[in-house]
Amino acid sequence: MSPLYVINGPNLNRLGKREPEIYGYTTLAEVEAMCRGAAGARPVVFQQSNFEGEIVNLVHQAIDLPAAGIIINPAALTFTSIAVLDALKMFPGPIIELHISNIHKREAIYHNSLVSKVATAVIAGLGPEGYGVAVQAIEGLIRKAVIKA
């Protein structure tokens, strides 16, 4: 079974340790366990990087395999990275853009996502539990894509 990629951008390694009023107390290791649990038999490649080029490389890995789907929390790169956008454009499967917080409720700098232009779906504001919801949702999108093919 082809894997699901869950890619996390800059600073998310600090999850659960900073600004818990916005992002909650759940750590990234706990989020990873949640994703693996929700994915069942499907293998999960769960990665975080503070480097834009590394996020691009992870998307390339997902393209080359190919992965069944990508869930990406690009963090600040959401709003700045044409390189991440261009890489995601090359991925043929479903992409879910995920944010722990509701970015639309926040300051204006968090409103214009570049990644949304290429995402199949966007989840924002469900807290860390949003990752589990995203894994369940992407299974449905993968199934639909297979039926279409």
Which residues here bind ligand CA2, judged by CB under 6 A?
A: 11-12, 14-15, 18-19, 23, 73, 75-76, 78, 99-101, 103, 110
- In the complex, the smallest distance separating the C-beta of residue 78 from ligand CA2, rounded to whole angstroms, is 6
**Backbone φ/ψ region at 41: left (φ over 0), alpha (ψ -120 to 50), beta:** alpha
Q: How far apart are CA 69 and CA 4, in angstroms?
A: 5
Q: Which is nearer to ligand CA2, 7 or 62 (CB)?
A: 7
Residue tagged active-site, from 5, 25, 60, 99: 99
32-42 burial by CB neighbour count: b if 16+ within 10 A, else e?
bebbbebbeeb
99 is catalytic: yes
Cα separation values, 80 from 99, 114, 132, Å:
15, 7, 26
Residue tagged active-site, from 23, 25, 110, 131: 23
- In the complex, the smallest distance separating the C-beta of residue 90 from ligand CA2, rounded to whole angstroms, is 22
111 is catalytic: no
Q: Which is nearer to ligand CA2, 49 or 73 (CB)?
A: 73
Residues catalogued as catalytic? 23, 99
